[in-house]
Copies of this chain bind each other. A is one copy, B any other.
Amino acid sequence: MAKEYVVGVDIGGTTSKIGVVDARGEVLVQSVIKTDVNVEAEEFIHTLAEAIKKLIDASGKDGQIRGVGVGAPNGNYYTGSIAFAPNLGWAAKRSVPFAKLLSAELDGMPVALTNDANAAAVGEMAYGVAKGKKHFIMITLGTGVGSGIVINGEVLYGSDGFAGELGHTIAVRHNGRACGCGRSGCLEAYCSATGVARTAREWLEMSEEPSLLREVDEITSKAVYDAAKSGDALAKRVFEYTGKILGTSLADFIAFSAPEAIVLFGGLARAKEFIYEPTLKAMNDNVLNLWKGKVELLFSQLKESDAAILGASALAWEL
């Protein structure tokens, strides 16, 4: 029987999503399991494999699955391993040969692995706003800032599989904020969901300016977004500041790979109404003349819950 379906798996720090996907990018069935970070890797992978088998059964496509594509933090395409991923307890202090172990649990079914941002880029190229584009940069604005760089229609992996850590380029060289990576001034420290909340907290402390955020119990990026929606001036300026830093960094990324487009994805990208203009302006203000006004700034249109699965699944077609 022709193998016309693939499985996409998105491993997150809290939950892992699984979907059976057809060649047009339709998610036939999907399920979610808890990402248990307090067990050994082998145990989690066993649980995941059981969930995958169950979902394949439910899809009625048993025997027609070509392979499994997995997107995970710190996933390495070359080695198939997840190594030193701070948010995944079972891979925080070691390198786990994830693809190999999962394949063994699935009776030898082929498994491909990459990091979550690269998977998102592949998904966007196959099914999203980057369809037909050969050169683009995907920036994922979530708890952290990740990136997937596509050159000539292929994800850039570099010499070691770790290329595209643009969230850890330095956006602020002097007195930059401490970043989770141990350095300071990283783009991620400013333009992630965490960074947005931090900017808001700092500004609220620095001034007496009235703001709806002063009524909020916990300042999160969602709270800042809600306040901005209600017209809060400080909250809106937080997004302007975030967009300005992001756009300035994007200008440098363009000088590297001369992409047709930058695609923004993830939680913070949903604040498009507040960050689009300042990001685009900073990007065009800071980019070399030859690219001014020429690089598109796009926002992912994929349904958030599908996007991660689709991106990971797209990898499996290459198996």
Q: What is the interface of chain A, defined by CB distance below 8 A to chain B? A: 84, 134-135, 149, 151, 156-166, 168-170, 172-174, 181-183, 248, 251-253, 255-260, 286, 288-291, 294
Contacts and interface: CB of A to CB of B under 8 A. Distances in A.
A275 B167 CA distance: 28
B181 A159 contact: no
Contacts of A251: 170
A163 B257 contact: yes
Contact of A149 (B157, B256, B260): B256
Contacts of A168: 255, 288
A258 B170 contact: no
B252 A169 contact: yes
8 contacts: A151-B156, A151-B158, A159-B258, A159-B259, A166-B256, A170-B248, A170-B251, A170-B252
B158 A259 contact: yes
Given A158-B151, A172-B173, A256 B288 contact: no
Q: Specify which of A165, A253, A255 lies most central, judged by the most chain B CB atoms within 10 Å of its CB.
A: A255
Contacts of A256: 149, 163-164, 166, 169, 253, 256-257
B183 A288 contact: yes
Contacts of A170: 248, 251-252, 286
A214 B15 CA distance: 66
Contacts of A158: 135, 151, 257-259
Nearest to A154: B152
The 8 tightest CB contacts between A and B, nearest first, are A158-B258, A163-B258, A135-B159, A169-B252, A165-B255, A159-B260, A168-B288, A162-B258
A169 B258 contact: no
A94 to B, nearest CB: 14
A225 B86 CA distance: 46
Given A164-B258, A166-B255, A170-B251, 10 more contacts: A149-B256, A158-B258, A160-B294, A161-B258, A162-B291, A164-B255, A165-B255, A170-B248, A174-B174, A183-B288
A138 B38 CA distance: 44
Given A164-B256, A173-B173, A289 B135 contact: no
A120 B97 CA distance: 39
A156 to B, nearest CB: 6
A134 B159 CA distance: 7
Contacts of A182: 289
Contact of A258 (B160, B252, B257, B288): B160
